[in-house]
Structure 1
Amino acid sequence: MNLSRTARAALWTALAAGLAVIYVPLAVVVLNSFNADRTFGWPPPGFTFDWWAAAWRSTGMREALWTSVQAASGATLIALVLGTLAAFAVQRHAFFGRETVSLLIVLPIALPGIVTGIALSNTFHSVLGVPLGLFTVIVGHATFCVVTVYNNVLARLRRLGVSIEEASADLGADMFTTFRLVTFPMMRSALLAGGLLAFALSFDEIIVTTFTAGAGVRTLPIWIFENLFRPNQAPVVNVVAAALILLSVLPIWLAQRITGEATR
């Protein structure tokens, strides 16, 4: 489609404005993590690494970081297993209500987080009698992390078809051999991309975590929220937020690269 010079300029302007709205505030957070002024005066009177050293010495931050890693790892593992099995069931088998099942799997990520959190908290506490803790956080995160794995695996299965697996079966390979030598190698990049996205989604979740963590579990997002308005902790919070911005780029970039290379 050929666009006039005016139309192209308008599109580029809209793109620049949209990116600025998203990334300028993030850039301010990163700059404030080096701001020598404790009250974050602007422009910064100077730059320092003292806040980064203080953040690393924070015991509460390190404990919250480890809790987040545990929760995200557990939720990702559950999502990989359940999301993969669900994708194979929906794509490779015809049964009554298949589209409904697909909708039910995807629905949790579309629901407001506060609704999911209240539902899970009531179920764990009132119905099942399970005490809130790290386990309930992992299960809560897995409910929406499954969607990322499911979508990635389902899209890959639709592109692959079944001809190669049928050829493997015709050559005498049983179901497990075909999966190990044929299906899994073709699915590997989709699983890795889905797992990376699920980990990133779980790592920064706060709303569902608030309802499922209980009093003794504090993930990094919860730690940031609790310390956000404490004057002595504000510089450290900015450092942790800046570090999360920088670290969050890696799994998203890897997932995009893996997905893009697999579709070439």
Structure 2
Amino acid sequence: MEFHDVRYEAAEGVARITINRPERYNAFRRETLDELIQSFSQAEADPQVGVVVLTGAGEKAFCSGGDISWEDDSDSAGAVQMNRRTTTLSMIMRGCGKPVIARVRGYAVGGGNELQLLCDLTVASEDAKFGQAGPKMGSVPIWWGTQLLPRLVGEKRAREIVMLCEQYTAAQALEMGWINKVVPAEELDTAVDTWCQRLLSLSPQALRVAKLSLNFESDQLWPSVLHGHQMISFIHDTDEFHEGTKAFLEKRPPNFGRFRR
């Protein structure tokens, strides 16, 4: 499979998967998700790979979520196609018995934050920003955002993050237990590599069992994700959703007041 949106490299036990759309703040479209699925599948099947690192190209963003300018995904049929891909990707990331580290530089917002939530560990640079933007866009972070955030930061804080759609610094995210480690930008690669080497020195069988066991309770939240995907597909056909995305593209505040009833 020839990749256009993603770079895949594997060497010395580490598979590095990079979303390579810096001009779009590494927002994902269908092709991006297909290539991420292929990359994680390849890393999982490679016996020489013991750790997977997921990151975004450039300094501005890890991932800014779904690319809303990709008009083929702006209706319910397009949402169904996207959701099938995100479901498959999250199943592979969580089901893969190898540790996955998110290397975060810049924005990890919307679906980008949900993507880093799906990783086992997150190392971020001091200039990273985290947040959800669903209601701001007429959408909802049901792709593991509403499921995993309460487990990490607590119920009240998760409601704040999801409902107010504000952004948080890496230091704030670390304090909440949202991420694992924060370092200066120039030390980010060293910090990630140090953890990769530490994980490679440990029993792969034990790490696999530990990951699966740690996922046991949250695996029971799968119905919430699947039901959420069905509901979000209907939302994508509404004028309210299109007002949110149109306002974002036009760089203006959305007028959601007319939909309140």
Q: Which has the larger radius of gyration?
A: 1
With normalisation by structure 2, the TM-score equals 0.25
Higher helix proportion (structure 1 or 2): 1
Q: Flag the structure with higher strand content.
A: 2
